[in-house]
Amino acid sequence: MPQGTHHAEHTRSAVTALAGRLLDAWSARARDGAVAAEHPCDPGVPALAALLHDVGEQAGAATAARAVAVWARSAGRGPGHPALYDGGLAGTLVGLRLGARLHPQLHVAADRLRDRLVRIAPTRGPRRDGVTFADYDLIIGPCGTLLALCVDARPTPAQLEPFAGHVAALCDAEDLPRLRTAGYAGHPHLDWLDGRVNTGMGHGVAGVVAALTATVRRLGPRPDLTRALRHATRWLARQSFDDSRAIRTWDGAGLEGPPPTGPRARQAWCYGTPGVSWALWDAADALGDQGAAAWAAGAFTTLAEHYDETFHLFGDRPADVLALCHGAAGVLAVADAFGRHAGLPGADTLKARLLDHLLQRLPELHGLGEEAMGLLGGAAGSLCALLTAGQGASRTWLPCLGLR
């Protein structure tokens, strides 16, 4: 066997073995009622189990099926809000859909939950002015619900329209005034955002763009959707600037004056160039706008050429540097999407670097998994990225990140 093939098989088995160990350990903790690091409805465990089933051997498949069965028994115990994350019903829907790849009977529960989400959408009354995250975003708002409906399913127009119509209406003007947040003045963490428009994938316009793009790909280029997408994408492009490391990037909120000086350390799925440039490229691709797609690809290329693991990965916790939201796994997932769909050589190069970076840190991922197995902030999401980007496992979970 050639040395490179042997190395690839070794790393493949190391990742699948770790995924199996962490799923077994999570199942044992869950049966004992000891899982407290994430909401019981978080889709991380069934997402990882579905991918392990895709690539694993018989023992891995048995571990995966067992973990999904344990997860499904607690899937209705979340807070009851409609969010994709934070224990919401849309996240439960994702978990049921992905878990049904191992236990097909879960599709019945998923269909019922989907219908409930659609039924309650008009009664929630999300605001169209003075918004908070729950009124629009990907984490706890209708953009996340739109993306959840697209996971391993073929949603109908009637299922998407209650959410898509609201999100599109928030982008009815070029400067996106309806997306200016309110109610965060004096907040210990979000005071900086009060009265401003967030740019990011998790809580901002990039996530809005990702959800609208996913809708356009399924409903076609309806005038209200394409108009909203053009408003949002043009606004995002106007907020970009080159930092002192020659990366075309974005701050956490729209510019309120000249572009700031200095480097921008946060380059992640949630904020900065990775998530925002992908949202812009995918929207341009869906709309057939080759010029805008080339601009967005160029922005990501500046990141790929100047990305520095020692500077751009930072934080006090393993999740900050390893997980999907802030860490290496999220940038890996974005680079993999750019390489696959846009054919960017720089994306493939960065993907290879980040695969190696994470593979060298499997012991740290093990430690993270003992604490948290969530999708965005836990080891399950990091391992999902490794299995999809590194081993060609299913991409059906990627709408959870606004990717494909």
At a CB cut-off of 8 Å and minimum separation 6, what does 326 contact? 266, 268, 269, 270, 315, 319, 320
Q: Annotation-wise, does 270 bind a ligand?
A: yes
Q: Annotation-wise, does 325 bind a ligand?
A: yes
Reference 281, options 268, 270, 269, 292; nearest CA is: 292
d(CA 236, CA 276): 8
Reply yes or no on whether the pLDDT at 323 is more than 90.
Answer: yes
- What percentage of the chain exceeds 90 in pLDDT? 87
| Alpha carbon 40 to chain centroid, angstroms | 19
- What percentage of the chain exceeds 70 in pLDDT? 95
d(CA 307, CA 303): 5
Q: What is the pTM of this model?
A: 0.96
Q: Annotation-wise, does 41 bind a ligand?
A: no
**pLDDT of amino acid 203:** 98
* 238-253 CB burial, b ≥16 within 10 A, e <16: ebbbebebebbbbbbb
pLDDT tens column, 148-172: 999 999 999 999 999 999 999 999 9
**Residue pair 303/355 in contact by the 8 Å Cβ criterion:** no
Q: Which two tokens stand for residue 291?
A: 């010029």
Q: Which two tokens stand for residue 92?
A: 């439960």
pLDDT tens column, 51-90: 999 997 777 899 999 999 999 998 877 778 999 999 999 9
Q: CB atoms < 10 A from the CB of 4, how many?
A: 8
**Residue pair 75/24 in contact by the 8 Å Cβ criterion:** no
pLDDT tens column, 37-55: 567 789 999 999 999 999 9
